[in-house]
Amino acid sequence: MSNLKKRKRVEARLKIYGVASITVALLMLATLLISISLNGYSAFRQAYFKISIPVDMSQFATENGSLSSKKLNLYDWDGLVNQSFNSIFPDITKRNDKRKLFQIISSNSGYDLKQIVKNSEYSIGQKNMVVWLPLSDDADQYLKGRFNIKVPEEDRRLNDKQIIWIDTLVAKDIAKLKFNKTFFTAADSREPESAGILGAVVGSSLTLFVTILFALPLAVMASIYLEYFARPGRITDFIEVNINNLAAVPSIVFGLLGLSVFLSTFGLPRSAPLVGGLVLGLMTLPTIIIASRTSIRSIPPSIREAALGLGASQLQTALHHVLPLATPGILTGTIIGMARALGETAPLLMIGMVAFIMEVPNSFTSASTVMPVQIFMWSDSAERAFYERSSLAILFLVGFLIFMNLIAVILRKKFEKKW
Amino acid sequence: MSIKFKAEKVDVFYNEKQAINNISLNIEKNMITALIGPSGCGKSTFLRCLNRMNDVIDSCKITGNILLDNEDIYGPNIDPVDLRARVGMVFQKPNPFPKTIFENIAYGPRIHGLASNNKELREIVFNSLEKAGLIDEVKDRLDDQATGLSGGQQQRVCIARAIAVSPEVILMDEPCSALDPIATAKIEELMNEISQSYTIVIVTHSMQQAARVSKKTAFFHLGELIEYGDTDKIFTKPKNQKTLDYITGRFG
């Protein structure tokens, strides 16, 4: 009697432990996501100022009257923007004050104006451009209320004068926070206001595409061979032990391998998604093999016997019956491997993907970076504005992972069969 | 009666353990032969030697000769894949593929290229289902999952699937052990009908079933063939004391 009571008590206690541990895990996850969101949401907006700039388009004309990119590139756009911006504050004439004034607008605003002119419809003659150009990252942080004014003036990145100017701009409705389109359409930049995540997202996608294309077929073939054709013996045991070992090898070792094999021996380009994908593919290969073998083994032997008993060959049995049934498990393993590959930075360090890349990659061999590397580099930067951008990038990375898991769930549901 | 299978001095080892000891046995054509005996006596192992299903098990070694129509099935000229098309098998637990009924039966003819077009394939499927006595029950739902059928129907799908490849022999490994008496009766009836055109070897735990369906019975014990003869004689006047003990329920 007392024994039964004791057993029930133990059971109840175990249940409490379980609920408690799940609660703790959920709380931690919530804390993480909430704190990142609170830090990152402000990166959705960026401080811009509105300015009207007269541009004499005739000076960019070629002899036959079309737009000359060369002349466009040679023009002093920064000077034009500064001059126009100065005209909002006509009483600032001293050289030193002017320098301070130009610090509150983005040092890339000249370049941005050039891009706008380049993309606008071209016609000869005077053109009055009314454009929104980004303020500097410090002004941006000030507008978002993330700037601490209590710090002594000489230690601040904005002095009292600059703050008054910004306040004037806001009061005149010239400066305000707008949706930060740049973040979603640009690659990395030294200036936070010109930096975007798109380069890293495209880089990650290209890399993962190579990874899955390389690792999945190899892993499935390897597991079919090991499960169906390999004779048990020393060699098979050796292969098996080594696959398990490979799954535990530190990822940076795969980077070294990639460096010496893909870059030095085969001479593939550095920083390329192709090489990154191959390295990450090698890294995830053992994970997918182990998952695939487990999944293949979990198919009831009766299905295999039924096919063999009908006179199907081993390969037909594997391809027609076992593999379709094992697909959900194989996919789950693949997605887990891909998720790990998506978050990996160490092996990419060795093949030059940890680099400052200002262009959105457009091929498998163009220099690119990936999302975790981008987050790492931004969080390493001094500018306060990069801090919120790395938080938003982390949210993006998490979103990417959730998206991948969602695909895995959908595919599982689609392929799952009951018997 | 002509002899279909001729086993000569067959030994089977799993690693070091001997599962079958020196068995010689002739199985006659177009007749039902039953293999009976207590669990672990080697009757299923022997059955699986007849279509080389034991090949899949790496630790299994077979010595001696098994002749199918006077040809050694373990000889160099026989491919196990071809052999299994000639010697079909029905298993203990109904094991239809998790596909439609039609696909289940069409699979064998398809991989062996028995039908040159869809019409012929449909004909084979319908004929097989008819022979298996299942056509009336499933003809309107050939595109339903075979796994959704009842246990007895599933087992008959498996028999139809085996018939569809037009084998010469059908091996049955306790085909009714997972079924209720009514489904069992249907399968036994079916076996009787098709035994005109197929050689059937059945392993069974039920002595009544062996007595009901088979013409010849072999009694196995501890890997040895104790007695083999006409079913009537085995069940009425066995020569061996062990056989008598087993069929009267004194052991096993």
Residues paired with residue B68 on neighbouring β-strands, in sequence order: B5, B71
Decide if B111 touches A, using CB distance below 8 A. yes
Q: Which residue of B has its CA nearest to A325?
A: B98
- Residues in B touching A231 (Cβ below 8 Å): 58
A124 pLDDT above the threshold of 80: no
Q: Which residue of B has its CA nearest to A227?
A: B56
Number of domains in chain A: 2
The verdict on A110 and A225 lying in the same domain is: no
Partner residue facing B111 (CB), from A302, A306, A316: A316
Partner residue facing A302 (CB), from B95, B108, B162: B95
Question: How far is the C-alpha of A399 from the C-alpha of A358, rounded, in Å?
Answer: 23
- CB-side exposure of A10: number of CA atoms within 13 Å? 6
Question: How far is the C-alpha of B228 from the C-alpha of B240, rounded, in Å?
Answer: 10
**Would you call B111 and A308 a contact, using CB atoms and an 8 Å cutoff?**
no
A64 pLDDT above the threshold of 80: no
Angle between helices B181-194 and B151-164 (to 10 degrees): 20
Give A391's pLDDT tier (boundaries 50, 70, 90).
very high
The verdict on A96 and A165 lying in the same domain is: yes
Domain positions in chain B: 3-247
Question: How far is the C-alpha of A226 from the C-alpha of A36, rounded, in Å?
Answer: 44
Q: Which residue of B has its CA nearest to A313?
A: B81
The verdict on A346 and A209 lying in the same domain is: yes
The verdict on A144 and A203 lying in the same domain is: no
Q: pLDDT value at position A238?
A: 93
The verdict on A352 and A394 lying in the same domain is: yes
Q: pLDDT value at position A417?
A: 67
Residue A103 lies in a domain: yes
Partner residue facing B56 (CB), from A300, A308, A311: A308
A19 versus A412: which is more confidently predicted?
A: A19
Question: How far is the C-alpha of A382 from the C-alpha of B138, rounded, in Å?
Answer: 74
**Would you call B97 and A303 a contact, using CB atoms and an 8 Å cutoff?**
yes
Q: Which residue of B has its CA nearest to A229?
A: B56
The verdict on A68 and A174 lying in the same domain is: yes
Question: How far is the C-alpha of A339 from the C-alpha of B89, rounded, in Å?
Answer: 44
Q: Which residue of B has its CA nearest to A316?
A: B111
Assign residue A299 the CATH number of its domain: 1.10.3720.10
Q: Give the model confidence (pLDDT) of A251-307 as tens digits.
A: 999 999 999 999 999 999 989 999 999 999 999 999 999 999 999 999 888 898 899
Q: Mention every residue, 6+ apart, whose C-beta is less than 8 A from residue A305.
A: B53, B56, B89, B91, B95
The verdict on A406 and A282 lying in the same domain is: yes
Partner residue facing A306 (CB), from B82, B83, B91: B91
Decide if A305 touches B, using CB distance below 8 A. yes
A14 pLDDT above the threshold of 60: yes
- Residues in B touching A325 (Cβ below 8 Å): 98
The verdict on A171 and A209 lying in the same domain is: no
- Residues in A touching B51 (Cβ below 8 Å): 309
Q: Give the model confidence (pLDDT) of B43-79 as tens digits.
A: 889 999 998 888 878 788 888 889 888 888 888 888 8
Amino acid at A99: R
Residue A249 lies in a domain: yes
Q: pLDDT value at position A416?
A: 76
Residue A127 lies in a domain: yes
Residue A259 lies in a domain: yes
Q: Which residue of A has its CA nearest to B170?
A: A309
A235 versus B250: which is more confidently predicted?
A: A235
Residue A346 lies in a domain: yes
Domain that holds residue A50: 45-178
Phi, psi of A397 (to 5 degrees): -60, -45
- Extract the tokens encoding B172: 């049955």
Query: pTM of the entire structure?
Result: 0.82
Decide if A302 touches B, using CB distance below 8 A. yes
Q: pLDDT value at position A1?
A: 64
In angstroms, what separates the C-alpha of B147 from chain A's closest C-alpha? 6
The verdict on A120 and A74 lying in the same domain is: yes
The verdict on A296 and A408 lying in the same domain is: yes
Decide if B1 touches A, using CB distance below 8 A. no
Residue that the structure tokens 């008590």 belong to: A9
Q: pLDDT value at position A63?
A: 77
Give A57's pLDDT tier (boundaries 50, 70, 90).
confident
Q: pLDDT value at position A419?
A: 53
Total CB pairs under 8 A between chain A and B: 67
Q: pLDDT value at position A252?
A: 92
Partner residue facing A309 (CB), from B88, B96, B111: B88
Among A178, A210, A244, the domain-final residue is A178
Residue that the structure tokens 């410090």 belong to: A138
Decide if B233 touches A, using CB distance below 8 A. no
**CB-count burial class (<10 Å; 0-12, 13-18, 19+) for A398:** middle
Decide if A234 touches B, using CB distance below 8 A. no
Q: ipTM of the assembly? A: 0.87
The low-confidence residues of chain B, meaning pLDDT below 50, are none
Question: How far is the C-alpha of B84 from the C-alpha of B89, rounded, in Å?
Answer: 8
Residue A187 lies in a domain: no
Among A145, A178, A211, the domain-final residue is A178
In angstroms, what separates the C-alpha of A216 from chain B's closest C-alpha? 25
The verdict on A209 and A170 lying in the same domain is: no
Residues paired with residue A372 on neighbouring β-strands, in sequence order: none
Phi, psi of A100 (to 5 degrees): -65, -40
- CB-side exposure of A162: number of CA atoms within 13 Å? 24
The CATH homologous superfamily of the domain defined by B3-247 = P-loop containing nucleotide triphosphate hydrolases (3.40.50.300)
Q: Give the model confidence (pLDDT) of A187-197 as tens digits.
A: 999 889 999 99
Q: pLDDT value at position B137?
A: 87
Q: Give the model confidence (pLDDT) of A307-334 as tens digits.
A: 998 888 888 999 999 998 998 889 888 9
In angstroms, what separates the C-alpha of A332 from chain B's closest C-alpha? 21
The verdict on A237 and A281 lying in the same domain is: yes
Q: Give the model confidence (pLDDT) of A180-234 as tens digits.
A: 999 999 999 988 999 999 999 999 999 999 999 999 999 999 999 998 888 888 9
Q: pLDDT value at position B136?
A: 86
Hey, how many other C-beta atoms are within 10 angstroms of the C-beta on B75?
10
In angstroms, what separates the C-alpha of B95 from chain A's closest C-alpha? 6
Q: In this structure, are residues A202 and A368 in contact, taking their beta carbons and an 8 Å threshold?
A: yes
Q: Mention every residue, 6+ apart, whose C-beta is less than 8 A from residue A181.
A: none
Among A178, A209, A229, the domain-final residue is A178
**Which residue out of A310, A315, A322 would a mutagenesis test of the B interface target, given it has the greatest number of B Cβ atoms within 10 Å?**
A310
Question: How far is the C-alpha of A370 from the C-alpha of B211, rounded, in Å?
Answer: 73
In angstroms, what separates the C-alpha of A293 from chain B's closest C-alpha? 17
Q: pLDDT value at position B252?
A: 55
Residue A311 lies in a domain: yes
Q: Give the model confidence (pLDDT) of A330-348 as tens digits.
A: 988 898 899 889 989 999 9
